[in-house]
Amino acid sequence: MDIIASYGFGVEISSMKDADNPFVKNAIKLFSNEKVDNPMVLLMVSFPKLMHYMDLFPPEASDFFVKIVREIVEARKQNPDTGTRNDFLDIILQALKELEENEGYQRMGITQKVLEAQLMVFFLAGFDTGRTTMSFTSYYFALHPEIQSKVREEILDAIKATDGEIRHDTLSKLPLLDACIAESLRLHPPLSRLERVTKRDFQ
């Protein structure tokens, strides 16, 4: 959650140390909603247009994140000299700028509300899928301690090779861990379908 909050919303949090943080509490509300177990959710997934008439997530939690997005976007617009974070919000800001300058975006139906929704999708998809994958991977490590030990040794060797520093290229030196995560995804994919469809043909 901390990584998604930082790179998606530009918000620095520590979900493990500060569980009472409003960002953390509202994020938990999004994924602990009792409506998820409601049979109507299956209908909404099968017939997406029903989502226009039903709330899948608690309104107060959804409103919280929409408010955060708008406040941060407005703050960065007002203070462009503060520099860029190269995060997802910067991409949104660039898209908003192009939206204002390019009528083609408006004809395609891309509005500020659509861009805000993309940020919400980024958070929901990034957080929940990552959480689910880590949970199942940890579960199988517990079932197979011998594999867990080999993965641990692989990680320690990779970190030792970089003098204790964990870098991005370190991940490419962990083939066993990568294979374990891939197998977990094969057994329990967090997403079983793709919701997006093109509205018209493109060349």
Residue 52: alpha-carbon gap to chain centroid? 22
- Please, which pLDDT band fits residue 109 given cuts at 50, 70 and 90? low
Q: Where are the beta strands (DSSP E) in 114-165?
A: none
Per the confidence metrics, is the pTM higher than 0.75?
no
Q: Is the pLDDT of residue 153 over 90?
A: yes
- pLDDT tens-digit series, residues 112-133: 677 677 777 777 777 778 888 9
Structural domain boundaries in the chain = 2-127, 144-203
Listed in sequence order, the DSSP H helices in 32-109 are 39-46, 59-78, 88-101, 103-107
Locate 70 and state its tokens.
């708008």
